[in-house]
Amino acid sequence: MCGCGLVVGGEQLDGGDPIADDLAQYQQLVTALEAERTQALAETVEAVTTAGPWLAWIDGQTLGLRRVTDGLELELPAPDSSYQVAESHVITAERVGAEVIYRGYALPSGEPIDDQSLAASEGASAYASLGDAAIVVAADTILRWRLGLEQPAALGTLAEAGLAGPVERLEAVADQDRELLILHADAQLWILDLASFTAEPIAELDALLSVDARRVLFSDGDALYLHELDGATVRVDEAIAASGWSLNPTFASIHEYTGDGATLADDRVLYIGSAGVFAYALDVAGPEAITPILIEPRWDVAAGIPRIEYREPSVADGTVFVRGLLGASGEVGETGPIFAAPAEGPASKF
């Protein structure tokens, strides 16, 4: 029997007092967390995201939506498997020749609101929701499209904003004082203030992971960064490692970030550690900042217990959704179902 992080000094852990106690505590934690884990979606789904109370996914050319609060489900056409979900609407994009057809649907009804054909940009379609509007990059122009209310209006070009393209990913946030676009373009994180229409390069990045009204979470290599929209940037992976949390001496570092996914959830970062899913509280110091959400069980090929590795965390309405990669022969699996677990961790202490 073996598993991720379960061999110390190359020796099999099958007895010995302190190690046996550590193994028992690990298994107790696995059991406590799995007791509250459920399967939310089949392994066939792709592109799983959340927004507000909505869980969304692609199955073939269909966009599935589930309102987590009451289980209401919708199915919408998504020919190119491209979509963006907001609390009040969803937008899909379909590339046809030199144009992209954007379609808006109201939530929770799923009724069509509007559709527009716009010039295609280089690479993937870049668009995001901002209030009752969509922000769309069409060719080299940024447009605002108020769904069902107004035709798309040009705000300016990428060059006018001082931004290098093409845009790989676009997010939009608003508060009482400003509207900002968060962009991944030219291997850089950019923040574009729509009032001044100027873009500022913030840092190099590999992936833009998550955005809310105050923060941007992104990765560069194995490093995980949090950028406050007021200006400060911190290394979250270093803060996690320095928190002082430890399950026990044998499993002292299972909570450390591995580079396999993370997302924002209010004042916490939900992330993949070396042996499972964890939450890091941004406003808490010390070991209390770390909460285990799901721990990878010890796998045993002979006993038919598959290996499971968690990936792709997202959060909606107090629930963490994560894919469990299943490997029946001890390999890291290529796919697996989407599991759900409470974002606050187990109801009882382990």
Instruction: Kindly report, residue by residue over 126-160, the tens digit of the pLDDT.
Output: 999 999 999 999 999 999 999 999 999 999 999 99
Whether residue 330 is predicted with pLDDT greater than 80 in this model: the reply is: yes
Q: Which residues contact 79 (CB under 8 A, 6 or more apart)?
A: 61, 92, 94
Q: How confident is the model at residue 177 (pLDDT cuts 50, 70, 90)?
A: confident
* pLDDT for the residue numbered 347: 55
For range 215-236, the mean pLDDT: 95
Query: What global pTM score does this model have?
Result: 0.90
**Tell me, what's the pLDDT at 350?**
45
pLDDT in tens, 268-289: 999 999 999 999 999 999 999 9
Domains within the chain, CATH numbers bracketed:
17-39+236-342 (no CATH), 79-204 (2.130.10.10)
pLDDT at 121 over 70: yes
Mean pLDDT across the chain: 92
**Which carries the bigger pLDDT value, residue 311 or residue 303?**
311
Distance, CA of 120 to CA of 137 (rounded, Å): 8
Q: Which pLDDT band holds residue 346 (cuts at 50, 70, 90)? A: low
